[in-house]
């Protein structure tokens, strides 16, 4: 089976190593003998959402978000239909914010979002930065993975505070860091096969269980095998657990 991923606006939405997420998905697919194709699509370029398995939207600054929003709006109906049809989407920070109703800047200007998801973002006076550990609350995660990790680790740097409508679920609860808004302990969101998160770093190399869940959802939707061949994740697990241990032991000392 071939997995087709589109990196939308790679020239505008790619902060703090976000592209590493694509490299991780590609490597984990190829190690299992699966074909993997990456399409880079930017402003004005054509894209067929229905032919895709995974869409990747990275992070971007307020400036970059306002440059691309008009172009993205032109694609909203097609993207919405693909999402309803189960397209797997990984959206990080600025990309995650863009899927919602609006992003209100510190000056009070509202950049309209795609309005696909019931969430909205309001920029605060200070930035929420630092390492994050999240206790994941996603059922498919344990089924998908060949390891037993149940946390998500990464690094956040955003001024936007994101709030979820009552129908949307977060990815889990923040054990350390700020997450969506620094108030309700929620981090990220999930709707169907769409995942949003504030975690950069990039996210997937240190969270192989999350990467495999995305691959598995994409394969399942494409009619491919449900189970992924287990990989030797000792290095990835060590990286993940080292971050968790360091952060949580520091937290205890404070
Ligand atoms: N505009 C966003 C914010 O600062 C995006 C930041 C990001 O993608 N890292 O909240």
Q: 65: closest CA among 2, 155, 158?
A: 158
Atom of ligand 1 nearest to the CA of 95: 8
Q: Ligand 1 mean position to 30 CA, how many Å?
A: 31
The set of protein residues with a Cβ atom below 6 angstroms from ligand 1 is 15, 59-62, 65, 93-94, 157-160
Q: β-strand 88-92 against 172-176: which pairing, if any?
A: unpaired
* pLDDT at 144 > cutoff 60: no
Total structural domains within the chain: 1
Cα within 13 Å of Cα(34), Cβ side:
24
Question: pLDDT tens digits, residue range 149-170?
Answer: 899 999 999 999 999 999 999 9
Question: pLDDT tens digits, residue range 24-60?
Answer: 999 999 999 999 999 999 999 999 999 999 999 999 9
Distance in angstroms (rounded) separating the CA atoms of residues 89 and 220:
14
* pLDDT at 145 > cutoff 70: no
Range of the structural domain that residue 112 is part of: 2-253
Whichever domain contains 119, its CATH number is 3.40.50.880
Q: Ligand 1 mean position to 232 CA, how many Å?
A: 34
Question: pLDDT tens digits, residue range 52-103?
Answer: 999 999 999 888 888 999 999 999 999 999 999 999 999 999 999 999 999 9
Q: Is the peptide bond before 206 cis (omega within 30 degrees of 0)?
A: no
Distance in angstroms (rounded) separating the CA atoms of residues 167 and 152:
22
Reported as a pLDDT band with limits 50, 70 and 90, residue 116 is very high
* pLDDT at 141 > cutoff 80: no
* pLDDT at 142 > cutoff 70: no
Distance in angstroms (rounded) separating the CA atoms of residues 13 and 16:
10
Residue 221, annotated as binding a ligand: no
Angle at the Cα of 241 (from 210 to 138), degrees rounded to 5? 30
* pLDDT at 224 > cutoff 90: no
Active-site annotation holder among 6, 93, 158, 240? 93
Reported as a pLDDT band with limits 50, 70 and 90, residue 182 is very high
Among 124, 125, 130, 159, the mutation site with the greatest number of ligand 1 atoms within 8 A of its Cβ is: 159
Q: Ligand 1 mean position to 140 CA, how many Å?
A: 28
Distance in angstroms (rounded) separating the CA atoms of residues 115 and 103:
11
Average pLDDT over residues 96-123: 95
The reply to whether 6 belongs to the active site is no
Q: Answer whether 133's CB lies under 8 Å from 177's CB.
A: yes
Q: 55-64, 135-144, 231-240: lowest mean pLDDT where?
A: 135-144
The pTM of this model reads: 0.95
Distance in angstroms (rounded) separating the CA atoms of residues 14 and 250:
30
Q: 76-80, 109-113, 153-157, 226-230: lowest mean pLDDT where?
A: 226-230
Strand, coil or helix: what is 231? coil
Q: What is the ipTM of this complex?
A: 0.91
Tell how many helices (H) and how many strands (E) occur in the chain: 7, 12
The reply to whether 158 belongs to the active site is no
Q: Answer whether 217's CB lies under 8 Å from 5's CB.
A: no
Cα within 13 Å of Cα(243), Cβ side:
24
């Amino acid at each position: 089976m071939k997995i087709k991923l589109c990196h939308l606006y790679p020239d505008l939405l790619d902060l703090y190593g976000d592209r590493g997420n694509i490299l991780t998905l590609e490597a984990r697919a190829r190690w299992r003998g699966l074909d993997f194709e990456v399409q880079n699509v930017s402003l004005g370029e054509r894209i067929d959402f229905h032919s895709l398995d995974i869409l990747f939207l990275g992070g971007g600054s307020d400036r970059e978000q306002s440059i691309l929003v008009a172009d993205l709006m032109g694609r909203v109906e097609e993207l919405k239909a693909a999402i309803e049809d189960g397209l797997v989407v990984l959206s990080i920070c600025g990309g995650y914010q863009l899927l919602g109703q609006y992003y209100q800047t510190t000056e009070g200007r509202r950049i309209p979002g795609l309005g696909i998801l019931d969430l909205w973002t309001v920029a605060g006076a200070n930035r929420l930065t630092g390492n994050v550990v999240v206790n994941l609350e996603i059922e498919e995660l344990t089924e998908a993975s060949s390891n037993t990790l149940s946390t998500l680790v990464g690094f956040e740097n955003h001024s936007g505070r994101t709030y979820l409508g009552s129908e949307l679920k977060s990815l889990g609860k923040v054990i350390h860091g700020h997450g969506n808004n620094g108030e309700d302990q929620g981090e990220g969101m999930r709707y169907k096969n769409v995942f949003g998160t504030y975690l950069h770093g990039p996210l997937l190399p240190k969270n192989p269980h999350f990467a495999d869940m995305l691959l598995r959802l994409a394969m399942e939707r494409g009619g491919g095998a449900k189970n992924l061949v287990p990989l030797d994740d000792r290095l990835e697990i060590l990286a993940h657990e080292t971050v968790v241990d360091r952060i949580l032991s520091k937290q205890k000392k404070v």
